[in-house]
Amino acid sequence: MHTRSWHSLAIVVTCLGIAACIDSQALAPTSRNEIATATSSGTADSAVFTAGRKEKQQKAPDDTTQSAPPPSPPSSDAAAIIQVVLGQTRSVEATAALGDVFASYDKLFDRYLPSSNAWSDNYYDRGVVYYAHYARTGDVTFLNKAHDITLAYRQQYVEANNYQVSPHWSLVRGLEIHYRLTGDVQSRQAIAGMYAWALSSFSQALWGDPKIPDLQNPNSAYMENRIQARVLQGALSSWRMNASFTRSDGISFSASEWPSRLREILNQILSVQKADGSYSWVQICGGQLNYMIGMLNDVLIEYYRDFEPDPRIPEAVEKANEYLWTTQWKAADQAFSYASVDCAPNSFGTNVGGTEAAGDLNGLMIASFGWLYQRTGDAKWRIRGDAIMSGLILQRWAGAYASSKQFNQAFAESYRYLGWR
């Protein structure tokens, strides 16, 4: 299991359209570090940081599962409701018909399906993984699993910390689906609450000399593309839910403000993409962590689909993926490099990682290749996407899916490619 961690954060834990949408193992290298590591305590090792600034320590939630009423039978349109948020995909049967590689994708899901479903297993939004699998199979077991882990995450982490969560742990799409399917208004409130407390500061010019929003500051000691994605997703989901939130200090986030916030955030994000499609962050020694580009691309696509079709988004996604494929893809490994540069250590003394192959992260990077194929009709995007899928199911990498986090990373976004290809 990989244990990536960066200097600046000690964190709690490690359709288009609806109809027709459903139609002995070697682990990967363990030398690279990640920002957020998993524990089950519900507390930060030392403190929570927001935009590189140290803030108060989070309250430790009770790690026992809170009681909830027994689930109601799913509505007849539950799968369609899920796909309003998650987008198009294919059923397991239709996926298997695409060939052996795609059949292996779902066999690996079954093989490595985790037995633990605690709130701390929700990193990278396990609830979304289960909601998507329910939409693809109709198996109500996964719908109930999704409800359970999403509710546990909300109650035992988000609400227990009064919405003041790590940005890396701001996981809103599962909560959005939970609200849409159950009508539980606390899940809707949690979406806007996390934006208000955990994410809103990143788009504000609060620090530096001159002051500049972290979202558009390559020299921020905290910023990277995953946080960009979390901030944009938080605002987008809040807009889709027409949610409002007023903080205890009186700062208000009204539903009418989401459009202007979304446009501002998009402008800030796109302002730091380089001409070649890459991004540069001081934490990553002037480079990028490649899997985070896939995460950002997926949220940009949701913005384009649901909020407004800003013509800069297809260009940004295509430039980013062209850079990834032509400079970061390692054909012999069927994987992208973990980072675009060797960054071990960075200027803060942390071994972020380097250019080693990281095929266990293919699942976070594949979806937007399918979107580009569907949008442009250019077969190169499907050819490249299929190559990424071949790496995703390669046993060299798949053995890592026995880890809760890597399982989530493999399956939290990759189902989208199945529909778009």
- Identify the pLDDT of residue 208: 80
- Does residue 27 have a pLDDT over 70? no
pLDDT digits (tens, 9 = 90+) for 300-327: 999 999 999 999 999 999 999 999 999 9
User: pLDDT-derived band of residue 71, with 50, 70 and 90 as boundaries?
Assistant: low
- Identify the pLDDT of residue 45: 29
- Does residue 390 have a pLDDT over 50? yes
Contact in structure between 12 and 58 (CB atoms under 8 Å): yes
Q: What percent of the chain has pLDDT over 90?
A: 79
Q: What is the pTM of this model?
A: 0.85
- Does residue 19 have a pLDDT over 70? no
- Identify the pLDDT of residue 73: 61
Tell me the mean pLDDT in the region 358-381.
98
Tell me the mean pLDDT in the region 341-365.
95
Note the CATH number of domain 49-98+117-359: 1.50.10
Token pair 């609200």: residue: 179
Mean pLDDT of the chain: 86
- Identify the pLDDT of residue 48: 31
More confident residue, 30 or 187: 187
Lowest mean pLDDT among 43-52, 61-70, 117-126, 349-358: 43-52
Q: Where are the domains of the chain?
A: 49-98+117-359
- Identify the pLDDT of residue 64: 36
SS (H, E, C) the chain: CCCCCCCCCCCCCCCCCCCCCCCCCCCCCCCCCCCCCCCCCCCCCCCCEECCEECCCCCCCCCCCCCCCCCCCCCCCHHHHHHHHHCCCCCHHHHHCCCHHHHHHHHHHHHHCCCCCCHHHCCCCHHHHHHHHHHHHCCHHHHHHHHHHHHHHHHHHHHCCCCCCCHHHCCCHHHHHHHHHHCCHHHHHHHHHHHHHHHHHHHCCCCCCCCCCHHHCCCCCCCCHHHHHHHHHHHHHHHHHCCCEECCCCCEECHHHHHHHHHHHHHHHHCCCCCCCCCCEHHHCCECEHHHHHHHHHHHHHHHHHHCCCCHHHHHHHHHHHHHHHHHEECCCCEEECECCCECCCCCCCCCECCCECHHHHHHCCHHHHHHHHHHCCHHHHHHHHHHHHHHCCHHHHHHHHCHHHHHHHHCCCHHHHHHC
Burial class (CB in 10 A: 0-12, 13-18, 19+), 195: buried
Tell me the mean pLDDT in the region 221-230.
95
In 3D space, the residue among 311, 316, 326 whose CA is nearest the CA of residue 274 turns out to be 316
- Identify the pLDDT of residue 6: 34
